[in-house]
Chains A and B, each alone.
Chain A
Amino acid sequence: MISALSALALGLAILPAGAAEKPVALIIAQGGLGDQSYNDLAYSGFKKALAQDKLEGKAVESKDVVAQAADILRRASDAGFGLVVDLEYSHGDPLAAVAKDYPDTDYVILNQVKPGANVASILFQEQEGSYLAGALATLVAKDASIKGMSGKPVIGVIGGTKSVGIDKFIVGYIEGARAVDPNVEVKVAYSNNFGDPALGLQMAKAMFDGGANVVYQVAGGTGLGVIQAAKDAGKFAIGVDTDQDGVAPGAVLTSMIKRTDVAVETVMKDYAGHAFPGGKTVTLGLAQNGVGLSPMSHTKDKIPAATLAKVDDLKTKILSGEIKVWNAVDQGYPPFFK
């Protein structure tokens, strides 16, 4: 740990002078680089921004990223980084505390809002992407010409835990489903566990047995079991966070992707352009390309063009502001989902 951090400090000393801004640190979250998911995606945005905005910077990986939160942040601040982008969710409070002591350094935290004039918070409008997923799922479920679909508007969603952060996805999904069919039945269940694929498989199996055609997973590792169950049952799953369509090609209808790369890129661009959104909350939705459905490379051919066009139409309406998707975090629970 200590050696890694001193290497970090040394690294700064050899950074070439002359870059317009002080360098940027990207603090990697649990799971580390190579997770083919959250961290890797963010890192790709980081590298792109370094090149585009002619910034210097480096990724900071730590073995004990949760327990050493404040320590890592302080070292990075002492090492002279001008911007610290922290991917680790549990760093919220330590980051807010450290930021107070380093008014000349800028900080970014994701998926939560933290106070401080030099802290920018980034939120994703997951409900917008989930809305499109729900609409697509319902349209596909009702289309008996698609292999495996019953033709009845019955779909499902499995959340990792009963919390407003997860229900934000679920509420958006249900709203999107109801937008294309007010009589849709959306089965909702929570696994209470983000890492148990065997449980996820059984839960999804129960939903498919109960008539669901498409099940959206918002449950991390547990959700891998949902995808497996869809494959076994000849139905569809919907992936989350990253493009999971390739996990079981053909069994994953689409994935609701959160573009952490876009988030990191956006905020670094602002920083390089002396427009860092300190003290502000940046929300990235469909309009900013911060969330969205995957390109559906394995399933696009199976879905009628009219269905895809309908989903695109809904997307346009969200972009134009004609549809405002319910945000459970800001607005509480809607009447259709208590």
Chain B
Amino acid sequence: MIDAFLHAAIVMTTPILLAAIGGLVNRIGGIVNIGLESMMLGGALIAVMVSAQTGSAGLAILAALVTGAVLGLLMSLVITRLSANEIIVGLGFSVATAGLVRFFLKSVYGVSGTYNPAGVAMLPPIDIPALHAAPVLGAIVSGQDALTWLAWALVPATAFALRRTRWGLRLRATGAAEATVRAVGLAPLTIRDASTVFAGALAGLAGAHLSIGVVGLFNEGISGGRGFIALAAFYFGRSSPWRTALGALLFGGFDAAQIRLQGHWIPAELLQALPYAIVIAVLTGLGLADRRAERSGRMG
């Protein structure tokens, strides 16, 4: 029972974590990406289409990555080059993509909302025989797919890249002091665009995880607001990939938990609101702690 729960928690964390890492990098570069949901949806659809056409999950993932990246680039250009408001553009992207996906399904496949072709190649789970039988650990690490591994590998990689590499420094500088970046002869807008492309690519992968990693079909609601949950996760994590991962895990874990707790003693409605309530509580706690630290810093 606990094994099944842990496994499900990791599975449900993956799309949130992928998108949240992208969103985190994007935010450090200076854009709060509200459009992650749209890139996730686009990636999910393309992954199913390519997977059914070619029978290759690898190509499907690649296509989802590119789709997310292209959507990210489009959104970024509107924000950086046309100086549009990032919130409005991000929301607009989410709404417009949902509409376009619906239109596309209707006009190309003649279906409404759901695309369930035959022959979708699923992303294979990676079994680790040595650990498979191990309690707890086996359930967590064995039988997860490549995108889950990628998501977790990105956590230390992103932390390292942001802190220790030239690219990380440039990205942080672009977000924090655009004029300085410009003064040293770099192009902050291009760096910012690159961070949105990265976020888009990861959100596209998150979509592919849902469509060909979990269910094997596409539905217009498949992203299920996870792009916005990712937003909450990277806000929760502020600039730390580790804390962002913790936020994503919190959401994924609660989703997996509420499924299993339902029907026992807690009302379903309450359970479903719980992750959000906890995030508000934690954010409030963090805010208060920050303020206290600031105050004591001033006194000291």
Binding partners A and B: yes
Interface residues as binary, A174-203 with B (CB distance below 8 Å gives 1, 0 otherwise): 000000000000011110111111111111
Pair A224/B263 contact, Cβ less than 8 Å? no
CB distance from B268 to the nearest CB of A (A): 5
CB distance from B8 to the nearest CB of A (A): 5
Pair B8/A192 contact, Cβ less than 8 Å? no
CB distance from A91 to the nearest CB of B (A): 18
Given contacts A189-B262, A221-B114, contact A198 B272 (CB under 8 A): no
Residue of B whose beta carbon sits closest to that of A229: B215
- Does A205 make an interface contact (CB < 8 A)? yes
Interface pick from B153-161, B195-203, B216-224: B216-224
What is the CA–CA distance of A209 and B8 in the complex, to the nearest angstrom? 11
Contacts of A200 in B (CB 8 A): 215
Pair A197/B215 contact, Cβ less than 8 Å? yes
- Does B11 make an interface contact (CB < 8 A)? yes
- Does A153 make an interface contact (CB < 8 A)? no
- Does B238 make an interface contact (CB < 8 A)? no
CB distance from A63 to the nearest CB of B (A): 10
Pair B114/A199 contact, Cβ less than 8 Å? no
Pair A206/B8 contact, Cβ less than 8 Å? yes
Given contacts A36-B111, A198-B224, contact A224 B259 (CB under 8 A): no
Contacts of B114 in A (CB 8 A): 221, 224
CB distance from A67 to the nearest CB of B (A): 14
Pair B260/A206 contact, Cβ less than 8 Å? yes
* B221 touches which of A31, A34, A194, A209 (Cβ 8 Å): A194
Interface residues as binary, A43-78 with B (CB distance below 8 Å gives 1, 0 otherwise): 000000000000000000000000000000000000
Contacts of B214 in A (CB 8 A): 197-198, 201-202, 225
B-side residues, CB < 8 A to A, are: 1, 4, 8, 11-12, 15, 106, 110-114, 116, 210, 214-217, 219-222, 224, 255-256, 259-260, 262-263, 268-269, 272
A-side residues, CB < 8 A to B, are: 31-32, 34-37, 39, 162, 187-190, 192-203, 205-206, 209-210, 221-222, 224-225, 228, 247
Extra 11 A-B pairs, beta carbons < 8 Å, given A192-B268, A206-B8: A193-B221, A194-B221, A195-B222, A197-B215, A198-B214, A198-B215, A202-B11, A210-B260, A221-B113, A221-B221, A224-B116
